[in-house]
A and B are shown apart, each in its own frame.
Chain A
Amino acid sequence: MDIILAAVGDAFAWQALLAIVVGTWAGIIIGGLPGLGSVVGLTIFLPFTFGMSTITSMALLIGVYCGSVYGGSITAILINTPGTPQSAATTFDGYPMTQQGRVDEALGWATFASFFGGVLSCVILIFCAPQLAKFAVNFGSIEVFALICLAMMCIVGVSKGSVMKGLVCGMIGFFLSMVGSDPITGADRFTFGSYTLSSGLTLIPVVVGAFALSEIFVRFSSRDDPGAKIPEARLRLPKLGEWFKRWIELVRGSLIGSFIGALPGTGAAAAAFISYATAQKMSPRRDRLGQGEPDGIIASESSNNAVTGSSFIPTLALGIPGDVVTAMMMGAMVIHGITPGVRLMVDQAQTVYSLFVVLIIVNVAMLILSKPSIGLFRYLFRLHQGYVMAAIVMFSFIGAATVRGNPLDLVVAAVTGILAYALRRADYPLAPLVIGMVLGPELESSLRRGLLIKRGDFFELLTHSGISMALFSLLALLIVWTVWSSIAQWRAAARNQPSYD
């Protein structure tokens, strides 16, 4: 008990609170700017933490992390350009709502869902970390492969109009993710002898090109007045009654995010897509999904923010970083003399408890700071659209260049932008491209690892374990259901057609 009180005291020290406010605020702004995401934000703030105490530096970094995951949704909703890849799924319903003049409501749902997901995952982290960590350990390559296959089904749902076009874009994304070194053998693929290509294409430049740049091309080539203003946005949090109606969606999204976050190597972008795919099958309002339905925003935002809390599960319980971001946190801990690992919870209990408290305060701070942050974006977007777009192009390129300092990434962003513009003009949906790019590498490497483990036997892959069998059966069911319902739709449409014989 003394330890807990001391831990709470550490977390409420003024330095820590100041760090939380500064970090969360900066995180929201950085996340909101396309191209600058969680990793860039943490890279900017990491050097500042060297002179701080452990809890203060953790508070700053956690603030930046959680804030940036939330901040990505603001630009996703306002201008159809996700500030971070984690919020790509928020554009599916967020932007249509803006077009319908429901921007305040969309921002409110995104904010509330982010807060809810963040807090629920903290609770799960505090109470179920050891159990979930144990379960995640049994979630091997084959189970991950089954899970990613399920997530891939989401491509069907987001391909409005033509599944074939969606699959084409998904394949393009998958192909782009294959450029570079083979994950298993290390051999070069699709590099055409160019040395710069052998490091592969990374997600940020592709997302920046596909969403931010293509959106700008579309805006400037459309017949509308290029000086048109971006809608004035205010935050309107959902009322208690409204969120009560959708509590199942909130809880489901948060649980999916919490679970995915606990698995090493998946991350918030994948969680958002998986959660969105689930909502497409399970939401009572699934027919309206993709046309401006709050359930879509909830699915995406509650799950990506739930990852922030639960990604600490493998880090704290096993010392295994769940993603790049937690790997950076582990690095910061090492600098302060804390070695993450199996004994961390025992040896450093006070620090771990403070970390829990900090996580919860950060989420509350995020809720409070959301209003002024959106106000700031409203103020910025009041400028002539041309200036806003120019700034977005600039930030997009800065973001693309800072990820790993490779000039090739600027070319990648520009080329993807042009390609994405052409695809949009031909009515191809872009979301599958990003889904392919996000999930492709993990799909490929988990399948190939699974086949290595089973020595090339596909059938054994399917019957590997109870979890994998359940997941593969679910996948088969989903495929049958999707095909069945599209045949039924097609028949109904054919019946309603007047016959001319």
Chain B
Amino acid sequence: MKAIHHALALMIIAGASHTVHAQETLEIIVPFAAGGATDIVARSFEPVFSEQLGVTSVVRNLAGASATVGTTEVAKREGNPNIIGYAPAGSLSIQPSLKDLAYGPDSFTYICRTTSNPMFLMVSRSSDIEDFDQLVAASQEQPLLYGSSGPGTLPHLAAAALVVESDLDASHISYSGSGPAMNALAGNEIQFMADTETILENYDLRPLAVFAAQRIEGYEDVPTINELGLPEMEFSVWQGVIAPKGITEERKAQYSDACKATLESDRFKSFAENAKAGIAYLGPDEFESFVKERFEANKQVLHDAGLID
């Protein structure tokens, strides 16, 4: 009997200590599994960010369903000032159009955009395709295949938009991540893919064009999509910090100041350089209008490519 009493007492203490703990801790939801590319950025962001805010924080990985599970968790905590999410582009600007989700672009308080990397159109270096015209010509001889890291991801959308707008004849195959897709590209199972500079640098790939308004520093000889005589297309892989709706303006300002300071810190800068994450700060208002603008643009692409009605 005594053992049971002790156990009960212990449980109450454990429970109570948790409540105290919860009030002082900032919960940072990362909608990806621990160790993934986004998780690593988030985990490098977190210590500097909480130092700036002067709070302790815990990173909670809540993965699944193209990052929408974790993003939903943030949206659900309306009015809670102690939770933020480190969200990727897909779950904020693509998934709400594809799926029936509990959130939309209006469900958050936007804090800041942290990083953004433009996407490149690329082929394997072992292929003899040197530019976009050759890719189009090859596709008219025999229809090509392009890969992506999953259905409804940015690599899928960027390539789909390109196929819709150009004479390129190609269809989509999705893989369970960038790695398997790169394997398929190296083995000529697929012929081209759209992805970021990180991927371009890590594998044996040749860039044909960049999905950006201007040419990119370090890749001056890679033309933009617009220069190829096609309508302007901007696709980039970005991430940002979001909070639930209904937090005070004061809290919002604290968060965005801390975010700005984090991105300007040497510690985060040196990490970003290693990880090839392009720091691209946008403040709360600019970030909000940016997300909404991307949401509409992606919706249009999904519609044109026949992925939604």
Contact = CB atoms under 8 A, between A and B. Distances in A.
Interface of A: 39, 42-43, 46-47, 50, 136-141, 180-186, 188, 195-196, 198-200, 264-265, 314, 318-322, 324, 327-328, 331-332, 334-337, 339-342, 404-406, 445, 449, 452-453
Interface stretch (B65-73, B212-220, B255-263, B281-289): B65-73
B139 interface: no
15 contacts: A47-B43, A137-B183, A137-B186, A196-B69, A199-B65, A200-B64, A318-B183, A320-B180, A327-B177, A334-B275, A335-B44, A337-B274, A341-B202, A404-B69, A406-B64
B144 to A, nearest CB: 11
A182 B176 contact: no
Given A43-B34, A331-B39, A186 B98 contact: yes
Given A183-B176, A453-B173, A140 B66 contact: no
Contact of B65 (A180, A264, A340): A180
Contacts of A182: 151
A319 B180 CA distance: 11
Given A334-B274, A340-B202, A445 B179 contact: no
Q: Which of B44, B69, B180 has the most CB of A within 10 A?
A: B180
Interface stretch (B12-20, B55-63, B113-121): B55-63
Interface of B: 33-37, 39-40, 43-44, 60-66, 68-69, 72, 98-99, 101-102, 145, 150-152, 171, 173-177, 179-180, 182-184, 186-187, 189, 201-204, 271, 274-276
Contacts of A404: 33, 61-64, 69
A188 B95 CA distance: 13
Nearest to B70: A405
A324 B64 contact: no
Contacts of A334: 40, 274-275
A137 B35 contact: no
A339 B173 contact: no
A264 B185 CA distance: 13
A264 B183 CA distance: 8
B4 to A, nearest CB: 14
Q: Which 8 residue pairs of A and B lie closest in terms of their CB atoms, listed nearest first?
A: A199-B64, A328-B35, A186-B151, A341-B202, A199-B65, A404-B63, A43-B34, A140-B189
Nearest to B147: A449
B202 A342 contact: yes
A43 B60 CA distance: 11
Contacts of B99: 188, 198
B35 A181 contact: no
A198 B34 contact: no
Contact of B187 (A43, A139, A339): A139
Contacts of A264: 179-180, 183
A332 B44 CA distance: 12
Given A141-B184, A200-B65, A341 B201 contact: yes
Contact of B35 (A50, A140, A324, A453): A324
A326 to B, nearest CB: 9
A327 B179 contact: yes
Contacts of A199: 63-65, 68-69
